[in-house]
Structure 1
Amino acid sequence: MPKRPASQGWMRKANLIRLYPVPFRLITSDQQFAKWQWIEASIERSPADRRPESHKIGVDSICAGKVLPAGDWCERRVLLDRLKIYENFDALDKARTEHNVTLGLIKPARVTALRIQKSASQGWTSEEIDKLQSMQRQPSLFEEQEHASIKRLEKVPFDFHYVYECVTDGELRTHIHKIVDWEVSQLYRNVYRKHGAKGWELPFRQKLETHLPSKELMLLMGTIHRFPSQWLIVSLIYPPKRQKEDDHQIALF
């Protein structure tokens, strides 16, 4: 996440932005950063991307800073509470058509299913490698190194979709969106290595269908540059559920 001065105005409100390309596998170890970690970096609006949240990041300028510890959601919640969280997907999509919003958080009422289907291609195609290279390419990096790095990156042979419900105008509406969260892909790789081809799906489903929905699950949604009306689930954010006010009162006695 980009670091900003802790001014009074910023403390009241924050906005999501999209930073890319970040060739994570190619940057130096002292520049690599975690999902919940402050960084300092030079950024500028992306001239080739019409999405207003999209910015280019100067890879050589990345300076990794404070990590927000895993399991400690106090500081993370302070940051999340400064962001606009849309009450349902329809509200987010309305913001897209009316205000060109292409990145936003929603909080589903319920996850009803996880759909798993085989990807059209089980390995990287030449077109996909070219696309990944063009997204990651920086003047200071060597093309041969990029190509080798992408080939070493194991492609997940499945597509994952969440089926979920949101309350819109007092009614439950069902939505289906593809999950492209890097952590979900890494979860697949981990459970596949541990349980094999016949055993990976059960623990994978337990994590995404049971464990995460039991928390205060939020979906970070983003549109595709080439298809501005098409949304993807870019990331899953899952703080523990807040204690009810009664629980706080009981804790005082």
Structure 2
Amino acid sequence: MAVVDARILILCKTYPSPSGKYAETTCVAGMDESGKLVRLFPVPFRLIATGQQFKKWQWIRAKVEKARKDHRQESLTIKVDTIEGEAVVQPGKDWAERRHLISPIHVYDHFDKIDAEQRASGMSLAMLKPARILGLDIEPVSNPEWTEEELAKLVQEQKQGGLFDDEDKPSIRTLQKLPFDFYYRYQCGEGPGAKMFRHKLVDWEVGALYLNCHRSHGADWEKYFRDQLENKIPAKDLMFLMGNQHRFQDQWLIISLIYPPHLAQGLLL
């Protein structure tokens, strides 16, 4: 694929992770103007110039090409210095515009269908609407602090003088490691055919929610964190943007949470 101009609606940014080449990277996913889901990776999001940063629900324009080292069909390499952002699509009272924008995306009602499609066609991004959320598992990571190798990746950016020469590139802050992994247990289907699944949440917003709850409530953070993810968000019309892993393509993650109000309640929320 040659380098082309693309317009992409951003639907996902995962929590950053250390990278040997880019110091830290974020997996970004969204939808192009035809309604096709696309992945932009790697994106050293916090390290790029302020003018090239973007938000969820924002249209961006940039030059892209098919990723050469990532053979998943949706994966693109983005030319970071060509990014031009448009206005963020605001939710309004009933999410009508956002719903309209993502309406071309096929929404699966069962994870088994996503798994089967991945095996058949190599699909690596999909939207899933679970029947219900069963619970949230919070598991401590084996090492809550960065290893020496990971820390070296995070600080190398300062030593090497930066990826870009823009004077407005933000100062580098050492990325805070999340001390927990978060997993949704959820159900697909109803009745005798109902089936339970469990997938890890890597949405940047989930990581930010943990940090905000811990900052605001200290030792009581878990109560407020669970209230959001087990009660308030599932009370909406919750959908998962799912993505699989490059090296292990049968392993899937919840990379973004999409939760508009229910249509019947739209005028009330």
How far residue 128 of structure 1 moved from its aligned partner, in angstroms, is 3.7
How far residue 121 of structure 1 moved from its aligned partner, in angstroms, is 1.5
1:175-207 Cα distance to aligned partner (Å, 9 max, x none): 0001001000000000100001x2100010000
What is the aligned partner in structure 2 of residue 17 from structure 1? 38
CA–CA distance in structure 2, aligned partners of residues 102 and 168 of structure 1 = 26
CA–CA distance in structure 1, aligned partners of residues 134 and 104 of structure 2 = 28
How far residue 23 of structure 1 moved from its aligned partner, in angstroms, is 1.5
What is the aligned partner in structure 1 of residue 208 from structure 2? 186
Shift >4 Å, 4+ stretches = 129-134
- Matching of residue 99 in structure 1 with residue 103 in structure 2: no
Q: Which has the higher strand share?
A: 2
- Matching of residue 3 in structure 1 with residue 10 in structure 2: no
Contact 1:115–1:160 (Cα < 8 Å) also in 2: yes
SS in 2 for 1:200: helix
- Matching of residue 57 in structure 1 with residue 61 in structure 2: no
CA–CA distance in structure 1, aligned partners of residues 82 and 99 of structure 2 = 28
CA–CA distance in structure 2, aligned partners of residues 224 and 170 of structure 1 = 31
CA–CA distance in structure 2, aligned partners of residues 166 and 189 of structure 1 = 30
Q: Give the residue type in structure 2 aligned to 1:100.
A: G
CA–CA distance in structure 1, aligned partners of residues 228 and 75 of structure 2 = 31
What is the aligned partner in structure 2 of residue 175 from structure 1? 197
What is the aligned partner in structure 1 of residue 112 from structure 2? 90
- Matching of residue 26 in structure 1 with residue 47 in structure 2: yes
- List runs of 5+ in structure 1 lacking aligned partners: 5-9, 249-253
Contact 2:154–2:174 (Cα < 8 Å) also in 1: no
Alignment TM-score, normalising by the size of structure 2? 0.78
SS in 2 for 1:193: helix
* Equivalent position to 1:230, from 251, 254, 258: 251
Contact 1:90–1:168 (Cα < 8 Å) also in 2: no
Taking structure 1 as reference, are residues 83 and 163 closer, same or farther at Cα in structure 2, changes over 3 Å only?
A: same
Q: Which moved more, 1:121-130 or 1:234-243?
A: 121-130
Contact 2:155–2:174 (Cα < 8 Å) also in 1: no
Higher relative contact order (CA 8 A, sep 6+): 2
CA–CA distance in structure 2, aligned partners of residues 129 and 17 of structure 1 = 30
* Equivalent position to 1:211, from 232, 235, 259: 232
How far residue 14 of structure 1 moved from its aligned partner, in angstroms, is 1.0
